[in-house]
Each structure stands twice: as C-alpha cells, then as structure tokens.
Amino acid sequence: MLAIIGLIAGVVLAIIWNPDMPLWLQPYLPVMIVAALDALVGAARAGLEHTFSDKVFVVSFISNVAIAALIVWIGDLIGVGSQLSTAVLVVLGIRIFTNAAVIRRRVLRA
Amino acid sequence: MELLTAIQRDTIEPEYGTHYADETPKKARTRWLVLAIGFLAGLMFATSSMGGAFRNDSVASERADLIAQAEQAEERNEQLRAEADGLAAEVEALQANQLGRQIVLDDSAVSWSGIAAVSGPGIVLTITDNPRDDSGIVVDQDIRHIVNGLWLAGAEAISVNGHRLSARTAIRQAGSAITVNYRSLTSPYHIEAIGDPESLSRSFSSGPGAAWLNYLKRNHGVSWTMDSRRELNLGADPGLDVDNASVR
C-alpha cells in the first residue's frame, strides 16, 4: 500500500517539478526503468500471494536497478552496451510477463 | 535452455515466500523505505515518459550557444562599422580643418565612388527567392548581372540591402548566402539605385538586367518587382579607405 502511495506521489511530483535527468544517467535509464518495473510487478504478485515483505521489496528493487545499470555500464565500457541492454530487457521482460500473467490469473481468474 | 527455463520459473524473488514474510516487528524503518522506493520508481517512470530524460539538452544548448555567438559577432560587427563611420567623419573634419578648406569632390565622383552618403530619386528592385524550388534561389551572379544592368541603365549610386556599392565592393557567394561588402544577405533582396526614375526604369527594362531577371522568373520562379521612389537615401561604403598612400 505504502509503495503505491509513494508511486503516485512520485509521479505527481515529477509532473509538477518536471526534473531534468542528468546526462550521464541517460543511457542507463531505460534499463533501470524496466528493472524497477520488474521489482514492482514482482512485489504486486507477492502482495496478492500474501508473501509480500518490505525488506525483500526494498532490497530487490535497489539491487535490480543497480545491477541493470551496472551491466549496461560495463557493456558500454567493452563496446557491447546496446546488446547487453537488450539482453537485460529480454530477461526482465520475460519476468514481467510471467508475473503479470500470474497476477492476471489471480485477479481475473482467467 | 536451462537458463531460459530458470528465468521463467523463478520470476519472483524467491525470498518473498520464506521467513522474511513473517518478520512483523521492526517494520517502521523498512516501511518508510518501501514508501521511498515507490516514490523513486514513480519519479523515474514519470520523468522518462514525459521526455524530460531524453530531451536532447546538449544538442539544443549547443545550438543556442552557436546562435548566441553568431548574434554577438554580428552585433560587434555592427558596432565596429558604426565606429568606423564615426572615425571616417572625424577624419574628414580634421582634414578639412588642417587643410583649411573642404576637399571639394565632384558630385558625380561622390555618388559613383560610394565615398559619401547620397540621396535622390531612383528605383527599387525587389527580388525574392522561389521557396518551392531549389533552383529558384538567387545567387551572387544574378545580383551582379542586375547591378551591372543598373549601372548600364545610368544609375548613379546603388546599394544592395542597404550596402552601398563602390569600386571595392565584392558581390560573392559564401556558402548559401550572398555577401556584399563581406556581409551576408538574405532574400528578399532590395536593390536601390539612384537616377532619374523614368529613364532608369525604361533603360533597365530594355537592358540585359531586366532580361536576366525575366529569365530567372520564367525558368526558376524568382519573383521581382520594380518601383520608382522620389527619395532614396544611400549610405557610404565604410570599406573605402586609403591603404598605402599618405599625405606628403
């Protein structure tokens, strides 16, 4: 519940404040967003299954985002940044879809 | 293959199901962390979706910088020109003072040489690029032909977009712009010529200048008009100066 409140507050604040992303963060933002999305969808599923844990959510979110950015950063250093970010997006995408499917089954029973 | 299956099997953090779930005490701190993380995520989503993150700030600011630089240089150029004009007037006054008399120049020499500002009746040609056709762009050669046609028709003084033509004037192409006296011009081009409006327009119309313009109009859609004016004021060419000679 708190996560959802925070989410809404963040969106509202960003719309009002309209911040500029620092330039050095720009290449990593897409991957970081997908990682964050993965953590959120995972948390939503856990919430529906009554296994949600604050600690796991916080840790998984931060580590997902950090690792996603780190992988792309390393990829950039060795010249395969775009390929590695594609790999990250594929893996996270599969996870998001699977979790979303589980949520869908639970909520809609379909 | 095992990797892909694993990805699909363990889509959720496995810890969610384990002992962490039932640690109800000491929740206050992690609660706030959850709020903060949700907040962070919302910030990220909204920022990126609104395009704030992907605004090409560097390119835009670089462009703005270059425009500002060009404008500054233009302004500085303007200032220097005004300064040169002022100094020229001062030199003239000092000369007159020193020599005890005004240097008397023949009126026609003054107007043809472009050394001083002149005014009088004349005609104005306005020539406009054809924006719908790449070949409908007026180039330096066109302006030269028209100016030569005006001289031939008996013009006594000519300026192009306010730049007075003198013996030292160069009408040249620099990139995509025409430069007169090394200053770039843009369409529409106003060519002012002092002379008897009637005879000037008559002989220009029957001369090579008008023929050239009509050719451009017919084949490239360049539009042009000719008006006569009772009073035209043409400035002096600030580029006229003595380089090597000195008074003995």
pLDDT recorded at residue B53: 47
The model's pLDDT over B20-79, given as tens digits with 9 standing for 90+, comes to 545 555 567 777 888 888 888 888 888 777 765 455 566 778 888 899 999 999 999 889
Q: How would DSSP label each residue in chain B?
A: -HHHHHHHHT-S-GGGGSGGGG--SSHHHHHHHHHHHHHHHHHHHHHHHTTTTTS-HHHHHHHHHHHHHHHHHHHHHHHHHHHHHHHHHHHHHHHHHHHSS-----HHHHHHHT-S-EEEEEEEEEEE--TT-GGG---HHHHHHHHHHHHHTT-SEEEETTEEP-TT--EEEETTEEEETTEEE-SSEEEEEES-HHHHHHHHHTSHHHHHHHHHHHHH--EEEEEEEEEEEE---TT---SS----
Q: Do B48 and A29 touch (CB under 8 A)?
A: yes
Average pLDDT over residues B111-135: 85
The whole-angstrom distance between A13's CA and the closest CA on chain B is 7
Judge: A8–B42 Cβ closer than 8 Å, yes or no: yes
Q: Which of residues A91 and A26 earns the better pLDDT score?
A: A91
Q: What was the pLDDT predicted at B144?
A: 92
Residues of chain A neighbouring B16 (CB-CB closer than 8 A): 42, 46, 49, 51-53, 56
> Is the model's pLDDT at B186 over the cut of 80?
yes
pLDDT at B100 over 70: no
Among the residue ranges A81-85, B5-9, B216-220, the one predicted with the least confidence is B5-9
Are A56 and B16 inside 8 Å of each other by CB?
A: yes
| CATH ID of B107-234, from 3.30.9.10, 3.30.460.10, 3.30.70.1880, 3.40.250.10 | 3.30.70.1880
Q: Domain segments of chain B: what residues?
A: 56-104, 107-234
* Predicted local confidence at residue B101, as pLDDT: 59
Residue B92 pLDDT more than 50? yes
Among B16, B22, B40, the strongest candidate for a mutation testing the A interface, having the largest count of A CBs within 10 A, is: B16
Over residues A27-73, the pLDDT tens digits come to 788 888 888 888 888 888 888 888 888 888 888 888 888 988 888 88
B contacts of A94 (beta carbons < 8 Å): 4, 7-8, 11
**pLDDT exceeds cutoff 50 at A93:** yes
ipTM: 0.76
